[in-house]
Chain A
Amino acid sequence: MLHFSDLFQYTDVFLSGLLTTVELTLLTTILGIALGTCCAAIRQYGHTVSQRLVAVYVELIRNTPFIVQLFFIFFGLPAIGLKLTPWQASMIALTINLGAYSTEIIRAGLSSIPKGQIEAAKVLGMNFRQTLTRVIFTPAFEKIYPALTSQCIIVMLGSAVISQISVEDLTYAANLVQSRNFRAFESYLVTALLYLVLAIALRFIFNQIGKRLFAYREVR
């Protein structure tokens, strides 16, 4: 039989774990997209050498498991003198991970902008930075916004792994609770549902933000 009532006394544990997951997700979403935007701009418009470097970064991250990246950063980097707390290591790993995926996504957005738009900005006398921020970014981001936000949610779900280096996130809370009350199925089920709620909530929030950001579509 299932006994969910045994979980109520651990509400605090779950909540604090949830909070850590939310906190890390928000932080890495912002940092990861910023990183991805820079890398995408370099990949699209930069010099050959820097383009190659970004390509190597993106392919390395996209073709290795997140948990290995996390272990490499947390266990491996101290060996060369870079000591990190579990929280710092997680944040860096998540940011680098999201950064690589969002680079590819944002680049697709950038290359979807017709050449004529850039030429029109040029003949109006705008410089490269003005063209990028005023003319290219908004339509490019609008095009890839759904893909980008889905990726953020995927990274949030992937963050469950950071419990393995004892960051006290939602999964860590689940492990803690089930080790105390031996109700593994119930704890993990509740935790899975909490992640689901978080994913749905994030998607809703992203949609609302999207509506604001790209409001001009709604005016019609």
Chain B
Amino acid sequence: MIQFSNYDIISNLLFATQWTILLSLAAFVGGTSVALALTAARLTRNSLVQKCVHLYVELFQGTPLLMQMFLCFFGLSMLGYEISAWSAAILSLTLFTSAFLVEIWRGCIDTLPKGQWEASRCLGLSFLQTLRFIILPQAIRVALAPTVGFSVQVVKGTALASIIGFVELTKVGTMLNNATFEPFKVFALVALIYFALCYPLSLYSKHLEKKFHVSR
């Protein structure tokens, strides 16, 4: 058996952290893009489209992320679509993230007073103009803090990719645990690294929220 020094453990974990960060970024970018498209679709006020978006949100918020990952990974390959753990993780995290973001953003858009839409219409602005010049600039300011806050959930969500075999921080943690039999140390370090990734995001989200409330 190979001996692992503390240095080895930490350097292995830090190396794996790169994959956690990369996966988080990919999922966040993917999730934001899909959520943007869905939000735009919702704003068209077509009731069928709205119902579909609603169903999408219900499905992905009402089932475990782990199950979504299993379905993407084991399920799709069963159906004949070969998919790597990396792709399956990105795909499921994108779906999961977008479902939450679209709901968060809906709340943000809904908090804007109805008068804003009405005043814009009275001024002769078109729907898109209203969106572009009136609604979005305000909604983005409101949405920034909760969106950054949700990115913490995305980073934590990537830990589940370890279960379908993607080698990131948690997976390397379990591997090191099996090799060193020092679970207390290894998992405490893993937790610490996640904390170091997430806590700044949490703080930044809180800061944004405060800034927004002060400026209002």
Any A–B CB pair closer than 8 Å: yes
Q: Which residues of A contact B (CB under 8 A)?
A: 59-60, 62-69, 71-72, 75-80, 153, 157-161, 164, 171, 174, 178, 182-185, 188-189, 191-193, 195-196, 199-200
* Most B-side CB within 10 Å, residue of A80, A183, A191, A192: A192
B49 at the interface (CB under 8 A from A): no
Contacts of B199 on A, CB cut-off 8 Å?
59, 63
B52 at the interface (CB under 8 A from A): no
Q: Is the CB of A72 within 8 A of B191?
A: yes
Q: Which of A75, A153, A193 contacts B187 (CB 8 A)?
A: A75
Segment among B4-12, B26-34, B62-70 that sits at the interface with chain A: B62-70
Per-residue A-contact encoding for B179-202, CB less than 8 Å = 1, 0 else = 000111011101100110011001
26 contacts between A and B (CB under 8 A): A62-B152, A63-B156, A63-B194, A64-B194, A65-B160, A67-B162, A67-B170, A68-B190, A71-B177, A71-B190, A72-B183, A75-B177, A76-B186, A79-B182, A157-B62, A157-B63, A157-B64, A171-B64, A171-B66, A184-B70, A184-B74, A185-B75, A185-B79, A189-B71, A192-B68, A195-B67
Q: Is the CB of A183 within 8 A of B59?
A: no
Q: Is the CB of A72 within 8 A of B152?
A: no
Q: Which of A63, A65, A72, A200 contacts B159 (CB 8 A)?
A: A65
Expressed in whole angstroms, the minimum distance between the Cβ of B65 and any Cβ of chain A is 7
Q: Is the CB of B67 within 8 A of A65?
A: no
Q: Is the CB of B64 within 8 A of A68?
A: no
A60 to B59, CA, bound (A): 29
Q: Is the CB of A65 within 8 A of B71?
A: no
Q: Is the CB of B187 within 8 A of A71?
A: yes
User: With contacts A184-B75, A196-B62 known, what are 10 further pairs, Cβ within 8 A?
Assistant: A59-B195, A62-B202, A63-B195, A64-B156, A68-B194, A72-B184, A79-B182, A157-B62, A160-B64, A196-B59
A182 to B132, CA, bound (A): 51
Closest 7 CB pairs of A and B: A75-B183, A65-B159, A185-B75, A160-B64, A63-B198, A184-B74, A79-B184
Contacts of A200 on B, CB cut-off 8 Å?
62
Q: In chain B between 128 and 150, which residues have their CB closer than 8 angstroms to a CB of chain A?
A: none
For B197, the closest partner residue in chain A by CB is A63
Q: Is the CB of A185 within 8 A of B159?
A: no
Expressed in whole angstroms, the minimum distance between the Cβ of A87 and any Cβ of chain B is 18
Q: Is the CB of B184 within 8 A of A80?
A: yes
Q: Which of A65, A77, A191 contacts B184 (CB 8 A)?
A: A77
A164 to B75, CA, bound (A): 19
Contacts of A192 on B, CB cut-off 8 Å?
63-64, 67-68, 71
Expressed in whole angstroms, the minimum distance between the Cβ of B17 and any Cβ of chain A is 13
Q: Which of A72, A171, A185, A191 contacts B188 (CB 8 A)?
A: A72
Q: In chain B between 77 and 100, which residues have their CB closer than 8 angstroms to a CB of chain A?
A: 77-79
Q: Is the CB of B74 within 8 A of A185?
A: yes
Q: Is the CB of A60 within 8 A of B78?
A: no
B174 at the interface (CB under 8 A from A): yes
Contacts of A195 on B, CB cut-off 8 Å?
62-64, 67
A82 to B190, CA, bound (A): 20
For B67, the closest partner residue in chain A by CB is A192
* Most A-side CB within 10 Å, residue of B59, B64, B79, B174: B64
Q: Is the CB of A67 within 8 A of B63?
A: no
